[in-house]
Amino acid sequence: MLQVCLNGGRGPGDAAGVPMSPVAMAEAAAASVAAGADEVHVHPRTPCGGDTLSPRVLADTLAAVRAAVPAGVPVSVTTGARAEPDPVRRLARVRSWTVLPNRATVIWHEPGAEALATALLDRGVAVDAVLRQGTDGPARFLRSSLAPRVPRIVAAAGSEEAALALLAMFARSPHTRPVLLHGRDGAAWPLFRLARRLGLAARTGLEDTLLLPDGTPARSNAQLVSAALGESAAAATVSS
């Protein structure tokens, strides 16, 4: 499974191809899926460019993206504290959503993560537990009574060594589940290759990296997806 992460915390100052509006996200999603992405992850934005959990903005973003990609392509959104720092207000925002994504990421080391995940799961939204190297998120998640209900882990690390340590921790859990492994910036492509070698879900997109594997700037999310599939094909050729 290859997920495209369209924008994250990036903006036009980072790269011209970072989509900010629902229309731009829809266009980027359509091009990325046409290039080979299986799933789309977006950060809905206010008109001023900030992350938001607004029901109206979320509904507009989901409607635009879903209209642009083939039926059945899952759309994932963020619930991170950058969109709403106060955990009580963040939970209230999520409970007020009128249109639901297929999946939502919950950053497990952030305050209120378990309540947020419970609210999403109770509404039928699949939760991706984001577990980051260097935080107490992984240990908290593995101790959580909610862990068996969470269908996927998103493991985020800054190096191959750190990623392997995270994966070893997950392997000791009695509850097995799929893992999507990724890194950012300088770790993005090394961890993409590691994910492919290990048979794990992976992701690419302007949220994670602004550069192609050869170090040249990426023009778009779709170009990163094409490059990722090229990396996968090259790895498959070497292994065979």
Residues 6+ positions from 183 with CB-CB distance below 8 Å: 156, 157, 158, 159, 163, 190, 191, 192, 208
Question: Residue 19: CA atoms inside 13 Å, Cβ hemisphere, count?
Answer: 27
Q: What is the CATH number of the domain that holds 151?
A: 3.20.20.70
Q: For residue 237, what pLDDT is reported? A: 57
Please answer whether residues 90 and 83 qualify as being in contact, where contact means their C-beta atoms are separated by less than 8 angstroms: yes
Q: For residue 239, what pLDDT is reported? A: 53
Q: For residue 174, what pLDDT is reported? A: 77
Tell me phi and psi for residue 55, to 5 degrees. Answer: -55, -40
Residue 60 to residue 49: CA distance in whole angstroms: 15
Q: For residue 238, what pLDDT is reported? A: 57
Q: Is 103 left (phi over 0), alpha (psi -120 to 50) or beta?
A: beta
Quickly state the pLDDT bin for 235 (edges 50, 70, 90). Answer: low
- pLDDT (average), residues 119-143: 96
Q: For residue 172, what pLDDT is reported? A: 83
pLDDT digits 0-9 by tens, 2-21: 999 999 999 999 999 999 99
Residues of the domain holding 89 = 2-239
Q: For residue 180, what pLDDT is reported? A: 98
Quickly state the pLDDT bin for 240 (edges 50, 70, 90). Answer: very low
Closest CA to 155 of 119, 184, 126: 184
Closest CA to 81 of 109, 45, 119: 109
pLDDT digits 0-9 by tens, 185-220: 999 999 999 999 999 999 999 999 999 999 999 999
Quickly state the pLDDT bin for 236 (edges 50, 70, 90). Answer: low
pLDDT digits 0-9 by tens, 97-126: 999 999 999 999 999 999 999 999 999 999
pLDDT at residue 147 is higher than 90: yes
Residue 238 to residue 197: CA distance in whole angstroms: 11
Please count the structural domains in the chain.
1
Q: For residue 176, what pLDDT is reported? A: 82
pLDDT digits 0-9 by tens, 23-60: 999 999 999 999 999 999 999 999 999 999 999 999 99
Residue 58 to residue 49: CA distance in whole angstroms: 14
pLDDT digits 0-9 by tens, 63-89: 999 999 999 999 999 999 999 999 999
Q: What angle do CA 196, 221, 130 make, to 5 degrees?
A: 55
Residue 199 to residue 187: CA distance in whole angstroms: 18
